[in-house]
Amino acid sequence: MAYAQTSVLVFGDSLSAGYGLDRGEGWVSLLRDRLDENDRDVDVVNASVSGETTAGGRGRLQAALERHDPDVVILELGGNDGLRALPVKTMKDNLLTMIEASRASGAKVLLLGMRIPSNYGKRYADQFHQAFVDVAEQTDVAFVPFFLEDIATDRGNFQNDGVHPNAQAQPAMLDAVWPALAPLLGVNLEVSATP
């Protein structure tokens, strides 16, 4: 049996699980396609769960690391903490613990940051986003400050619930991740970006 040269574990919530999308439409599936098209020997495992919080992720990460032994972990959690107005300090601690566990297993980490609407209160919204920035600086991991930045202001990019990106937005989500992910995989940045 041939083993993949490199493996990527995508560990996120509904944004990465492809909530409301047909199979193959989510950005993680598009990542697999992009790597395949460029003959990159990379195994992409999507262990994302809709509705997951950082606490839930922290509880199941170790088993996922042991099962998949990834070279790279893409950590995309925190959005549900924000939507539930959970304590920012707890979210930050959970993210730090997951990064530490991923690194201890031998994986590089890419952290995908998130923002929440200011109707949650400007102070909380600012603290929420700053937590990702602080975690990235403290751990020196690869970092995308706001995963949905390129699609967030256009309602046409979202499903009827106004929260989950639709199929047409998924390529832009992949393009947001790609510049930070490609160097971790040893892939040329110019290769395979969406036109």
Q: Which listed residue (22, 39, 140, 161) is catalytic?
A: 161
Is 50 catalytic? The answer is no
Backbone angles phi, psi at 110, to 5 degrees: -115, 120
Q: Which of 7, 13, 14, 81 is catalytic?
A: 14
- SS3 for 12? strand
The dihedral region occupied by 42, where left means phi > 0, alpha psi between -120 and 50, and beta the remainder, is: beta
Q: Centre a 10 Å sphere on the Cβ of residue 119 and count the other Cβ atoms it contains.
A: 7
CB atoms < 10 A from the CB of 24, how many?
13
Q: How far is CA 112 from CA 1, 11, 36, 46, 160, in A?
A: 33, 10, 23, 15, 24
The H helix count followed by the E strand count for the chain is: 7, 5
Of 33, 50, 150, 164, catalytic: 164
Region of 161 on the Ramachandran plot (φ > 0 left; ψ -120 to 50 alpha; else beta): alpha
Q: Is 102 a catalytic residue?
A: no
> Is 161 annotated in the active site?
yes
How far apart, in whole angstroms, are the C-alpha atoms of residue 57 and residue 179?
Answer: 25
Catalytic residues: 14, 161, 164
